[in-house]
Amino acid sequence: MLRYAMKRLLLMIPVIIGVSFLIFFIMDLAPGDIVDLKLAEEGLTYEQTEQLREAYGLTGSVFTRYFSYMLNFLKGDLGTSNVSGRPVLDSFLEKMPATIVLACASIFVSIIISIPLGIYAAIKRGTFADNASMVLSFIGLSIPNFWLGLMLIIVVALNVSWLPTGGFTKGIASVILPAITVGTGLTATLARTTRSSMLDVLSQDYLRTERAKGHKEFKVIMKYALRNALIPIITIAGGQFAVTLGGAVLTETVFSWPGVGRLIVDAVNSRDVPMVVGCIILKSITIGIVVLIVDLLYAVIDPRIKAQYAKRKRKTA
């Protein structure tokens, strides 16, 4: 298990190299740089722009610049923002708590709604309740995030003023609306996954064995069936959680949420190359770790998968 986790962590190195090069290259292809923006704003002379380019490290080919960037990255230096002049890592870590709070809150909201809903739909398969909950989840899946966010602001924040319209200044009250906004689509996806996974498990013979032992139907479903249905559910939930950890750009914008998503978008708009590249590398590391945790959770849930990891270990050793 530990060996497997180490191997997976090592595999993240090529991923980081690939992601960083790609983003570096794309940012270079985009027309205009930070100096052009300053030129438009402040009206600099040609010499001044050349000096500025030198200072920002914008001279030389994209490969040499990428190489020196990665050299610094290895030393733990992700560069400084061209706009604010602050270290990229500091800015990222400063925005991370808000993003983590939002991701956790939205995944929490969607799990407590979607899993019971999916189980209920699976048990009541083919009935009105099943169809109704699936139609509901289809609607949830189709609603655009930004629209739902705006509607929630208008109704809950402005009309009845129960909750703040945005920002992350009023503690838990300010998390509720963004969490619902991000969580709605997630809930819909998870409910559908739970339903189909449960349907698959509910037809299995071993549940009949559990019932024949005299277990309560509730326990048969919630313990013996659900545990077997969990793998697809945590795959989807984990993937969505990882994506949200990378920043929910639209929702963060609508609710002026001080998260990583907005940090990256702002950096792209101002051609702040070190900020963009640094944030995306950190984001991909975060996603990689969450996906790894999900994979390790498989082994906790299903002993057959754990046995596979153990077998792999024996082969490589």
Determine, following the binding rule CB under 8 A, whether residue 208 of this chain makes contact with another protein.
yes
Q: Which of 80, 81, 99, 228 binds another protein (CB under 8 A)?
A: 228
- Return the range that interacts with another protein (CB under 8 A); candidates 35-43, 210-218, 242-250, 269-277: 210-218
Determine, following the binding rule CB under 8 A, whether residue 224 of this chain makes contact with another protein.
yes
SS (H, E, C) the chain: CHHHHHHHHHHHHHHHHHHHHHHHHHHHHCCCCHHHHHHHHHCCCHHHHHHHHHHHCCCCCHHHHHHHHHHHHHCCCCCECCCCCCEHHHHHHHHHHHHHHHHHHHHHHHHHHHHHHHHHHHHCCCCHHHHHHHHHHHHHHHCCHHHHHHHHHHHHHHHCCCCCCCCCCCCHHHHHHHHHHHHHHHHHHHHHHHHHHHHHHHCCHHHHHHHHHCCCHHHHHHHHHHHHHHHHHHHHHHHHHHHHHCCCHHHHHHCCCCCHHHHHHHHHHCCCHHHHHHHHHHHHHHHHHHHHHHHHHHHHHCHHHHHHHHHHHHHHC
- Return the range that interacts with another protein (CB under 8 A); candidates 73-81, 97-105, 271-279, 298-306: 298-306
Q: Which of 216, 269, 311, 312 binds another protein (CB under 8 A)?
A: 216
Determine, following the binding rule CB under 8 A, whether residue 213 of this chain makes contact with another protein.
yes
Q: Which of 204, 239, 291, 297 binds another protein (CB under 8 A)?
A: 204
Q: Which of 2, 41, 214, 314 binds another protein (CB under 8 A)?
A: 214
Q: Which of 77, 266, 295, 302 binds another protein (CB under 8 A)?
A: 302
Determine, following the binding rule CB under 8 A, whether residue 301 of this chain makes contact with another protein.
yes
Determine, following the binding rule CB under 8 A, whether residue 3 of this chain makes contact with another protein.
no
CB of 213 to another protein, least distance (A): 4
Cβ distance to another protein smaller for residue 266 or 302: 302
Determine, following the binding rule CB under 8 A, whether residue 141 of this chain makes contact with another protein.
no
Determine, following the binding rule CB under 8 A, whether residue 212 of this chain makes contact with another protein.
yes
CB of 232 to another protein, least distance (A): 14
Which parts of this chain interact with another protein (CB under 8 A)? 204-206, 208-217, 224, 227-228, 301-304, 307
